[in-house]
Every structure is written in C-alpha cells, then in structure tokens.
Amino acid sequence: MNDLPDNYDDLSSLEKIEFHFPLLAGGVGYTDTSDATNEYNCLAWALGINWTRYDPEPQCAGYYWFPGVERKWNERNIRQIFQNHGYEEADNYDLEDGYEKIVFYISADGEPQHFSRQLPNGRWTSKLGDLNDIEHDTLECIAVEDYGRPQVVLQRKIQR
C-alpha cells in the first residue's frame, strides 16, 4: 500500500478512496453510494448484505462465517460460499440479461482480496474496506496491489 500522507486522518472518505485508487482520482468513473462504515465488508456486500462482516477469523458479535465452510480465507472456501448462494462459473464479465455476476480480485499471492457485484445497469458495486460503497464503470479502476486483479467471475440467475 502507498505510504499514507501526514494528513491522511483529515482527508474525507472520498479523498481516501481516490488516494488508494488513483484511477478514480477526480471523481472519474465512479459514484459514491454510501457513507464509510466498518459494519460490513466486501464479501458481505457482494452477496447483497450490509449488516455483518463475513470473516472466518473473528468469532465475535458483528462477524459471521458460513456453516459447513472451513474457517479459512481462501479461494476454494469463498467459492463454496458463493456456490451455496446459487453462483456458478461464468466465462465472461459482460452484462447478461437475467444474470447477476460476482468478480473475485486475486492478489499476487493467489488469494482473493476483494469482490465486486455487477448491477443491472452493467456497472459494478464494491465496498472499499471500511470506506464507502461505490458504483464503478470498470473492474480495472480498483485493481490495485492490495486488491489484486479481477480474475474469477461467477454468475447466478436473478430471482424474479
């Protein structure tokens, strides 16, 4: 991660977003859709949940993990979580009528670090750490070292 500027704590949450994700600088390519919060994380948000953090480690109030899934953060276990929610492998990132897609950002060490969900308008939504939720135009605009690159795409039929 970049060294934080001396005034980092004084920055607004949007300034922090643009610091961590330089391709979003100047408000280009994204829309802020929430206030900053640590109530939920990107895994929960990708599943449409904004009331808990999904994490295998902290076993305390405010954190949740999935029954039957090994308490270890890795691609296999997180794929299992999404499969338990009806997702299956997809072969592209394109908007497809009747489907909702999830993308895993995989770091250089091969571990999932972030998840984005495609919206019906074709944009993507992400919970950025403890910062805001945003809608973003492309997957690449938040592909930074800490998050990795978009590499895995899953889809499920939209329930109507």
Structurally, how many domains does the chain consist of?
1
CA angle in degrees (0–180, nearest 5) for 8-14-20: 60
7 within domain boundaries: no
17 within domain boundaries: yes
Helix, strand or coil, per DSSP, at residue 99: strand
128 within domain boundaries: yes
119 within domain boundaries: yes
Looking up tokens 């994204």 gives 30
6 within domain boundaries: no
4 within domain boundaries: no
Report the predicted TM-score, pTM, of the whole model to 2 decimal places: 0.93
> Residue 63: what pLDDT?
86
Q: Is 81 exposed, middle or buried (0-12, 13-18, 19+ CB in 10 A)?
A: middle
Range of the domain at 124: 13-157
> What is the average per-residue pLDDT within 15-26?
95
1 within domain boundaries: no
> Residue 102: what pLDDT?
98
5 within domain boundaries: no
* Model confidence pLDDT, tens digit, residues 27-47: 999 999 999 999 999 999 999
* Model confidence pLDDT, tens digit, residues 82-118: 999 999 999 999 999 999 999 999 999 999 999 999 9
The single-letter code of the amino acid at 126 is: S
